[in-house]
Amino acid sequence: MRFDVLTLFPEIFSGYMTQSLLALAIEKGLVQINLWNIRDWAQGRHKVVDDRPFGGGPGMVIMCEPVYACVEAVQAQAEPGQLIMLTPAGQRLTQPVVEELASQKRLVLLCGRYEGFDERIRQGLKPREISIGDFVCNGGEVPAMVVIDTVIRYVPGVLGDPDSLVEESHSEAGRLEYPQYTRPRVFRGMEVPTVLLSGNHQAVARWRQEQSRARSEPGANSGEQAEREGVCHEEPSDEGG
């Protein structure tokens, strides 16, 4: 799968691309990530990419010309792919949306900065707008990493165990994964539930289903629920949601 990231700060991605599953996926040729600096398409000696907003107000707005030129040049290199604008005004990134994005062969991720994009970028380029939550980041780079991180899990061969996709949180709408434990059996007075040590696979499966259902109840507090069930109430470690 190919990702093209259009940003004013490509260096932000340098460390991210050399770590963990993503680095292995790139090494194996399963995932390709290209970084493009929007400023390279800006005109003039100073390569200006932003200007003051018409009507006044704080901050600066990213100009149309360099963004249009960058998007059109990058999309022309291969199949255009789906253009994604990372913005707080966009559609919420959920697991079904991630699965949908993963069905694409190429995603072109447009990262904003400052006070955002000139509205005519939305009007003319018609990107799909994606938000990772009801909050504002300093730019679209971190949201773009979130999109990449979640989408590559659906690329065949990226995960060592494909079953991880089936059992993890949000694999079904609204469902959270059951608690996980490893050695030691007792840590600071907190014990691993006996059923997990029983060797009874059917009992373990039932316990996990019950725990997943309890955690997924609307308004349920995972710590309080775990305490009621008589199990350790450490935070789950399967993923960041």
Q: What is the pLDDT of residues 87-138, one digit of tens each?
A: 999 999 999 999 999 999 999 999 999 989 999 999 999 999 999 999 999 9
Does the residue 55 lie in any domain?
yes
Residue with tokens 């800006």: 42
End residue of a domain, out of 130, 154, 178: 154
Does the pLDDT of residue 236 top 60, yes or no? Answer: no
Around 65, how many Cα atoms within 13 Å sit in the side-chain half-sphere?
11
Does the pLDDT of residue 148 top 70, yes or no? Answer: yes
- Please give the pLDDT value at position 179: 93
- Please give the pLDDT value at position 240: 37
* Number of independent structural domains in the chain: 2
Sorting pLDDT into bands at 50, 70 and 90, what band is 193? very high
Domain of 176, CATH number, reads 1.10.1270.20
Sorting pLDDT into bands at 50, 70 and 90, what band is 163? low
Report the share of the chain in percent with pLDDT over 70.
Answer: 85
Sorting pLDDT into bands at 50, 70 and 90, what band is 233? very low
Specify whether 110 is located in the same domain as 206: no
- Give the structural domain span for 65: 2-154
End residue of a domain, out of 113, 133, 154: 154
Does the residue 234 lie in any domain?
no
- Please give the pLDDT value at position 134: 93
pLDDT digits (tens, 9 = 90+) for 33-86: 999 999 999 998 999 999 999 999 999 999 999 999 999 999 999 988 999 999
Specify whether 111 is located in the same domain as 36: yes
Does the residue 209 lie in any domain?
yes
Specify whether 44 is located in the same domain as 85: yes
Sorting pLDDT into bands at 50, 70 and 90, what band is 165? low
Average pLDDT value for the chain:
88
Sorting pLDDT into bands at 50, 70 and 90, what band is 177? confident
Does the pLDDT of residue 237 top 70, yes or no? Answer: no
- Please give the pLDDT value at position 167: 57
- Please give the pLDDT value at position 160: 74
Specify whether 79 is located in the same domain as 195: no
Contacts of 56 (CB under 8 A, 6+ apart): none
- pTM (two decimals): 0.82
Does the residue 223 lie in any domain?
yes
Does the pLDDT of residue 142 top 50, yes or no? Answer: yes
